[in-house]
Amino acid sequence: MQELLRGRHGELAALRAAFEASASRGRLAVVRGEPGSGRSELLRHATAMWRAEGVAVVSHRPRSRAVVLVDDADQLHDPVLTTTAMRMPGCLVVAVCRDHAELAEVADVVIDMSTLSPEVVTELITTRRPLDHSVVEALRTALGPLYGNPGTVLATLGELNLTPVGDLLFLADDRISLPGNHPLLDHVHGLAYRVALLCVVRQGIEVSDLTLLKEDLDACGRALDELVERGVLTPDLDVLCPALANAIADRGGEDAVRRMHVALAAESADPDLVALAGPDLPDAPRRARWLADRAAEIQGTDPERAGRWLAAALRMTQDRPCGRLFFLTLSVLIATGQDELMGTVLKERVHEDSSTDAAAMLLMLNGEQPPINGGPAVALARWWLGERPDWTPLPMTTHDDEQVITNAELNAIYHALRFDVQACRTALRFVRDEDARECFDELTEAGTAGDVATVLELVLGQRYRTPDHGPLKLYQRVLRDYANADFTAALQGVRQLELTKRPTPAHHHGRMLAAAMHSARGEHRQAFAWLAKVSHATRYAPTRALVECGLLHRAGDSQAAVNLAWRTLQRAKRADIRPGVGRLMLQALQIALRNNDMAIARTLMTEITELHRQDDCRCTLQVLLLAKGLLYGDPAEAARGAEVVRRRGHRPDLLWACHILAQFCDDPRHVVRELRAIAKEGGSSFLLPARVSALMRKFGVHAPRATTGPSGLTGTELRIVELVRAGQTNRQIATELDVSEKAVEHHLTRLFLRTGVRSRVELAAASLAGRLDDRGATG
Amino acid sequence: MTGTLSHPDASNLIARDDAHTSVVWPLLSGTARLVLVTGAAGIGRTALLNEVRDTLEHQRVRTADVPLLRADRNRPQAVVARVREELDRWSRPPVLFLDDLQRLNHDVLRALLDALPYLATCVVASYRTPVRLEHTDLADALETSPLTEIVPLSPLNRSEVSLMFTSLLNVSADPELVRRLHQDSRGVPGLVDLAVDGYLRGGALRIIDRTAYLVEEPRGTGHRHPAVERIRLLGEAAWRTAKAMAILHPLGPAAEELLGDTGALPELEAEGILVRRDDGWRFRAPVLANALAASLGPYERHDLGWRAVSAIWDGRAFCANPGYLPDRLIDAGGFADAEKAATQLLAAGRAAVLHDPAARRWLRAAADRATNPAQQAEALFMHAVACASHNDFVSAMASVDAALELPDEFTPDQTQEVHLIRLVGMCAAGDRAGLRKVADGSWRSLPGGTAARFIGRAVAMCYTDRWDEAAKLLASTRNTWRLGNAATVTFGEIFGMSAALMTGRMAEFERVVSDPGLCPLYAVERHRPALQAAMARCLLLLGEAKRGARMLAGQPLTEADLALLGGAEGRWDDALGHARKALVTGSTLGQVAAHTALARDLATMLVTRAKLTRAREVIADARVGQNVLPHVLDVAESDLELVLGARDKSRQVLQRGLAFAAHHAIVIGTDELELRLAMMSLEDDDREDAEFRVERLADIAETMDTGRAHRNHLLARAVTWHDKSAVAEVRRLVAERGQPHEIALTLTALASHGLGDAQTLREAYELFGTMDALLPRAVVRHLMREHGVAVPGRAATTAEQERLLASLVAEGLTNRELAGVLRTTEKSVEAKLTRLFQRTGYRSRVELATAMLTGEYR
């Protein structure tokens, strides 16, 4: 029975002890806690506990040994008199209240409801709804200390906008705010509201900042102390948690916030305040110039802040457009990845030039829709988004510093994304960032994977930073996790990608990657589900076919796989689509060889050689070497190929290379070397497909084992941990692993026992933190 | 229990047995109608009443509690009705309990008292003193009434406060802590609880060897303790006034004027919170002021701070305490002029830098508020020095790092000192990786010139036990750093000397000791005692107590020095106290020789006094964090293992220590390890090894040429070869050295190898007695019986045996372990235990352990 109420054993024990002590002399126990801390829930369980023990639990004056429960005692007319009068021998009075000093004074026992531990709350909410880990994390960050108050967590969760993706719920909106009727907000009225809003707007204040409100200082001070006393503000004068700050801002609406900004900025020489108020200031145009100058001063040390000030300055000069300020602002915003501000600036702007064109392109690439017709840069973005059939490269000049993005850079981006290696190399020569030329191979690899963020970062160097939100960053992260073979994180990333607004190529690439990952694990159902969502446009055909081939081959239909590959290759050739072609050819070659279809294999080899001759880069070299190894049975070439892969540090590709190397079993030196390399780099999240593990066993290489990572867990157990981390239920895990639900339960029980964790949530948390260890039940 | 807080009924009832009897007796005997318990707020009246009710109910006397509420002053008829109702409910009227009679107004109280003779029952009541003005006449009437028994409760005295502390936390309290607690709380139990609560929550207490020490200046916390809540319940005006007075009262007469609205002062006086003196208002107990100050809101604090500061600046107020203004400047924050505030904070901090811990926060605030880089640099530097001198190396390092960002503002001397603070901090924090980087010269380039860099590297080497390397580095670069600034040269000489000493090169050590003027800072008054002490402690580590004492003569001794000297001179009770205190305040952090020697001495003393678990804890604590010269600790650890009967483990520990020393080319301390190994080999009939050890000891004695090394060599030679001349020589040597523990150990060793007589044993036995060394006494008793020597004092012996057993039980040893330590069978241990429990009346091992801790059982 008590197991139902987790995290409250201390309080229950205290109540029980108080009752034991009430035999000779009646006792009054006061349970003190904030609303939502679970006081009534505690009483309910205590009642059940006592009833189960045969103790009368009543709500009026009792005759013999009994417990009297008074919920919400502070609502009574005279709580002290009422509760003390009922205190008589044999009787325990339990009164529940918020914070009642006089009641606490007369009490025999005061039980303070402690905040629940985060693990308990996490378990509480995840058992009710299938929340993704990201939602739990976001709630925890937004609620801060309030995360220990179950009532608040549930109420906040109830108002959240959640969307299902797959089997899990994700946040549809990043902003989390407390429900408007939360008890803490009861204290935020009148002057206290202005003080609290000041604290929200300034993100924490000093006492001397109260003068900014230009009200009676003493009254403001009292309001401030009251807010601290009530727990709305922390003793360091910051709002208790982000969700509360949002709720305070919501209360007055945007207008109130704006009025506060203006009030603060008026007559102030603090650029931060002026920038916050921005165009709402009555004398905005007059101060714009001043603000821009201040921004120039700090641009070197704090570019993000400079960007905010510049954007404000720009918006403050609404009527008198000034090209130079415009260029400066947008280049700083682009270099600091402040997408939202860029969108605001563009929205209010009628004027268009090459700077707005470039900014609009970047916004479009990241899934936004800026209200600008644009020039060549926007056209490039439209091509990438599939809204235009093609794009024509621009004439290039060497140095053009008054451009946010030069023609050469646009060309380089275009060619990289098309995987036109020679043209890209040429364009790079005219690019401003010197380092860009050094990372040619990385650039082409990013291009063929459709990783726009990395392409932009490499081509533009210091002049660009990928915004923290949006499909570009997400997809880049997916690719990074995939390269590290952290499939769980990568798949979670793909699911998050699905939540972003309109589908971009990043989505399709992500889906194909997800299909590939499921396919590698032998989860065909999920692989097909992801593939079905991928666009049928020709440009995705080679990569798509790569995954499909693998699936067909594994399903036993190798001939169909080779045919599909061949057809796709012809189609891509006709449409001049290059990304992904090489890998598809290698895959087809591998399958053809296994089918003993030497004719096709030789044709493919010719194509691969031709491809490398035409587009000479690391990608094609890797394919060529591995293909040579396969076709001519040349372990040395294959090993060179594997070496190329290893230098890239791409684990799934390295496994593929190993697989190819393993064909030369009589000379296992190279395989063993590569496998060792894999084993050495193994991390906690690194999970090997079964066939590679088998390979490792065969060559006597120990599977990867990290010092901080899981140790002493079997492959199945690791798999289960991973699925638990992904929020799967026992039934889902059973389906995935193709075992019975009973077996999963059995595995989990053993895992709990061996690792010393007590619940799925703890297990997931421990594995995330790399703490999962065979600590034994005593650990 | 999480999140629950019980009113400490039990601990409020410390030393209330007499009062309890005085209340219960008149009731049961029927000699009084009204028993009135009086006393100040928090004195424990309610707790006593509750206890009395429990006693009466237990005696089957029916009782009834009539609550008197704060609001009852305004509704007199309600109280009367409540009393009547309670009396009507029972056929035989119960004993009425009326807590807090002072809450009633004059008429009701008078009516109640008048009705007393006609009631069919007795009344137990409590009244909080001081007597309210309106009740004066009633109080006088009661004093003389024959039907009334008045039981006044008085504050606890110091030993009762100590007892209460122990029952609250289950650890004993250092006398200094008790003194402070008694002074802060004025002996009122409720306030003792408030003070302890504040110490605990403020992190001001540290517990070592089951004794609590106050390591930080106690300041209140904002926690809502009942004693503070009581003031809050007096209403908004009184609450605000009380909080404001907490800040303003040190200003004396000016406080009232600064307060503005003084309307609530009389009420606070009537409630016994404030006391009016000729020179203004005081709080009844300082702890109340601390707790109230901590309950201030941020604005209130700023406002009051600024009121006090501006009054002092304008000359309208004055406070004799030099720490008052800087603290108010911190409170006033942005309200006070930054430049003036920073200057005054810096000045206050500079004046108090070495002796007042508060200097740390003033200097920190000064650094935050400094208006120019020079001022900021000075504040940071002084803050680092202040923190370092109070062993707060984490904060010191933060300031050092900030200071190093402003390199242009410092003199070379300061830079060297700041950097040394950093290294000491790393050592104290156990950051061996960081030190290793500095030692290897791969860390970020050290500040200062070439000379300073050499010193920095050498110090880092010393702190990572690479003494030999450090000695060589300093010797080979001597020509460079001798030309450096005063600090560089001083540190070079001091660390060069210590490093040489550790590797057995006494000549280098003697060179500096005989001419301390080699260190330029020796001429500076601020640095001289520290330098002198550093040299003396090296000697104490070597066991040269007499020479060390001579060197320390005439200067104020630190706790660590007192502990080391006391230990060597056989004054163990003092030594234990000083050692605990030195370790708990971290005063030996950065003093590697003293720190390790201290831990070794403390552990050794605890082992011989049969506090085995505590000894193990001390050794383990010393090994984490600042773990330099760990092989010195191995001596104590091997003794501990040997006592527990783990011979193999003991031998392994010794060998580990020797291996460590050999690996690092350390010589000091190895003689102790060798001697123990030689003795063990002899007992195991491995003469060859024993003889080999004697040769080694001869070498060490020749190299080191210290008394301790010679003694170890001679003793080993005597017992191995039964060399009569060595016996005579070692006896003469230890007698001359005059260290009781050393003498007793030597005599025991000789006797157990058949090289002594009855007199030898008796002398050892008595010496161990002076140190209360229970375990060796038991061993010597064995030896005496074996040699047919009579053990003096039969009754005392039995008592001592029992005390040894009780100590070991309290340390949590199992029966098997007890049998091992006492060299007897488990059966016999069981029998002894049964007798012990029967005789003392304790029912369990836990009860016994608690009794040992509180000093109830001795």
Find all residues with CB under 8 Å of A330, minimum gap 6, and list them.
A342, A345, A355, A356, A358, A359, A404
Say if the Cβ atoms of B233 and A206 lie within 8 Å. Answer: no
- pLDDT of the residue at A772: 52
Whether residue A59 has pLDDT greater than 80: no
Chain B residue closest in CA terms to A211: B335
| Rounded Cα–Cα distance for residues A277 and A285 (Å) | 12
- Convert the pLDDT of each residue in B380-437 to its tens digit: 888 988 888 777 888 888 888 888 777 777 777 777 778 888 888 888 777 788 888 8
Domain A715-768 of CATH type 1.10.10.10: yes
The two tokens of residue B592 are: 């590697």
When pLDDT is averaged across residues A414-422 and rounded to a whole number, the result is: 89
Give how far Cα B523 sits from Cα of A109, B519, B530, Å.
63, 8, 12
- Convert the pLDDT of each residue in A82-122 to its tens digit: 888 777 777 888 898 888 888 888 888 888 888 888 888 88
Coil, helix or strand at residue B370 = coil
Say if the Cβ atoms of B64 and A11 lie within 8 Å. Answer: no
> Hey, where are the domains in chain B?
9-152, 158-218, 556-780, 795-854
The two tokens of residue B399 are: 């300031």
- The amino acid at residue B93 is P
Residue A208 has its nearest CB partner, among B5, B222, B334, at B334
- pLDDT of the residue at A3: 45
Contacting residues of A for B50, CB less than 8 Å apart: 25, 108
Q: Nearest-CA distance from B360 to chain A in Å?
A: 20
Tokens 């949590």 -> residue: B812
Tokens 């190993």 -> residue: A658
Say if the Cβ atoms of B3 and A108 lie within 8 Å. Answer: no
Q: Nearest-CA distance from B73 to chain A in Å?
A: 14
CATH of domain A485-698: 1.25.40.10
Say if the Cβ atoms of A110 and B230 lie within 8 Å. Answer: no
- The amino acid at residue A148 is G
| Rounded Cα–Cα distance for residues A733 and A523 (Å) | 12
Say if the Cβ atoms of A111 and B5 lie within 8 Å. Answer: yes
Task: Spell out the CATH class of B556-780.
Answer: mainly alpha
| Residues of B engaging A, defined by a Cβ cutoff of 8 Å | 1-7, 50, 53-54, 57-58, 63-65, 67, 69-71, 82, 222, 226, 229-230, 232-233, 297-300, 302-303, 333-335
Say if the Cβ atoms of A24 and B57 lie within 8 Å. Answer: yes
- Convert the pLDDT of each residue in A709-720 to its tens digit: 344 566 677 777
Whether residue A401 has pLDDT greater than 80: no
Say if the Cβ atoms of A24 and B335 lie within 8 Å. Answer: no
| Rounded Cα–Cα distance for residues B183 and B200 (Å) | 17
- Convert the pLDDT of each residue in A430-464 to its tens digit: 888 888 888 888 898 899 889 999 999 999 888 89
Which conformational region is residue A204 in: left (phi greater than 0), alpha (psi within -120 to 50 degrees), or beta? left
Q: Is the dihedral of CA B589, B594, B597, B600 positive or negative?
A: negative
Contacting residues of A for B302, CB less than 8 Å apart: 207-208, 221
CATH of domain A2-112: 3.40.50.300
A81-90, A247-256, B92-101, range with the lowest pLDDT:
A81-90
Q: Nearest-CA distance from A34 to chain B in Å?
A: 13
Contacting residues of A for B303, CB less than 8 Å apart: 218, 221
Q: Which of B682, B675, B680, B672 is nearest to B720 (CA)?
A: B682
Residue A224 has its nearest CB partner, among B50, B71, B299, at B299
Say if the Cβ atoms of A24 and B65 lie within 8 Å. Answer: no
**Which residues are paired to B152 by β-bridges?**
B38
Q: Which of A638, A669, A668, A665 is nearest to A654 (CA)?
A: A638
Residue B298 has its nearest CB partner, among A13, A111, A228, at A228
Q: Nearest-CA distance from A129 to chain B in Å?
A: 28
Whether residue A252 has pLDDT greater than 90: no
B522 touches B490 (CB < 8 A): yes
Residue A87 has its nearest CB partner, among B65, B299, B334, at B65
Provide the number of CB pairs (under 8 Å) joining chain A to chain B.
Answer: 110
Q: Is the dihedral of CA A570, A575, A580, A581 positive or negative?
A: positive
Strands B280-283 and B274-277, how do they pair?
A: antiparallel
B281 touches B273 (CB < 8 A): no
Instruction: Please tell me which of A405-409, A758-762, B10-14 the model is most confident about, judged by mean pLDDT.
Output: A405-409
Chain B residue closest in CA terms to A108: B7
- Convert the pLDDT of each residue in A563-603 to its tens digit: 999 899 999 988 888 888 888 998 898 888 888 888 888 89
Tokens 């193994």 -> residue: A682
- Identify the burial level of B327 via C-beta atoms within 10 angstroms of its C-beta, where 0-12 means exposed, 13-18 middle and 19 or more buried: buried
Tokens 């400047």 -> residue: B329
- What share of chain A in percent tops pLDDT 70? 86
Contacting residues of A for B232, CB less than 8 Å apart: 101
A625 touches A641 (CB < 8 A): yes
The two tokens of residue B531 are: 């330098």
| Rounded Cα–Cα distance for residues B95 and B344 (Å) | 64
Q: Which of A262, A272, A259 is nearest to A308 (CA)?
A: A272
Contacting residues of A for B2, CB less than 8 Å apart: 9-11, 114
**Which residues are paired to B38 by β-bridges?**
B127, B152
Q: How many CB atoms lie within 10 A of CB B89?
A: 11
Chain A residue closest in CA terms to B85: A85
Say if the Cβ atoms of A105 and B222 lie within 8 Å. Answer: no
Chain B residue closest in CA terms to A113: B3
A331-340, A734-743, B189-198, range with the lowest pLDDT:
A734-743
Contacting residues of A for B67, CB less than 8 Å apart: 80-81, 84-85, 87, 106
Coil, helix or strand at residue B322 = coil
- Convert the pLDDT of each residue in A467-508 to its tens digit: 888 899 999 999 998 888 788 888 888 888 888 877 889 999
**Tell me, what DSSP letter sits at residue B738?**
T
B560 touches B587 (CB < 8 A): yes
Bond before B357 cis per omega within 30 degrees: no
Q: CA triplet A443, A449, A451: central angle to 5 degrees?
A: 65
- The amino acid at residue A471 is P
Q: Which of B729, B668, B676 is nearest to B701 (CA)?
A: B668
- pLDDT of the residue at A683: 44
Say if the Cβ atoms of A85 and B67 lie within 8 Å. Answer: yes
Q: For A256-283, what is the HEC assignment?
A: HHHHHHHHHHCCCCCHHHHHHHHHHCCC
- pLDDT of the residue at B3: 33
| CATH number belonging to the domain at B795-854, selected among 3.40.50.700, 1.10.10.10, 2.40.50.140, 1.10.1740.10 | 1.10.10.10
State chain A's mean pLDDT as an integer: 82
| Rounded Cα–Cα distance for residues A486 and B414 (Å) | 51
Residue A10 has its nearest CB partner, among B3, B64, B232, at B3
Say if the Cβ atoms of B3 and A11 lie within 8 Å. Answer: yes
Q: Nearest-CA distance from A56 to chain B in Å?
A: 22
A617 touches A440 (CB < 8 A): yes
What's the length of chain A? 779
Q: Which of A20, A22, A25, A202 best probes binding to B when mutated, by most B CB atoms within 10 angstroms?
A: A25
**pLDDT-derived band of residue A52, with 50, 70 and 90 as boundaries?**
confident
When pLDDT is averaged across residues B526-551 and rounded to a whole number, the result is: 84
**Which residues are paired to B125 by β-bridges?**
B36, B98
How many CA atoms lie less than 13 Å away from B822 in the CB half-sphere?
A: 26
Chain A residue closest in CA terms to B230: A105
Contacting residues of B for A81, CB less than 8 Å apart: 67, 69
Q: Which of B609, B665, B601, B667 is nearest to B635 (CA)?
A: B601
Contacting residues of A for B6, CB less than 8 Å apart: 14, 109-110
CATH of domain B9-152: 3.40.50.300
Contacting residues of A for B293, CB less than 8 Å apart: none
Contacting residues of B for A237, CB less than 8 Å apart: 298
Q: Is the dihedral of CA B479, B481, B487, B492 positive or negative?
A: negative
Residue B297 has its nearest CB partner, among A25, A112, A228, at A228
Q: For B54-116, what is the HEC assignment?
A: HHHHHCCCCEEECCCCHHHHHCHHHHHHHHHHHHHCCCCCCEEEECCHHHCCHHHHHHHHHHH
When pLDDT is averaged across residues B818-841 and rounded to a whole number, the result is: 84
Say if the Cβ atoms of A84 and B67 lie within 8 Å. Answer: yes
- Identify the burial level of B725 via C-beta atoms within 10 angstroms of its C-beta, where 0-12 means exposed, 13-18 middle and 19 or more buried: exposed
Say if the Cβ atoms of A224 and B65 lie within 8 Å. Answer: no
Contacting residues of B for A26, CB less than 8 Å apart: 65
> Hey, where are the domains in chain A?
2-112, 118-171, 183-265, 321-463, 485-698, 715-768
- What share of chain B in percent tops pLDDT 70? 96
Is the ipTM beyond the 0.90 threshold?
Answer: no
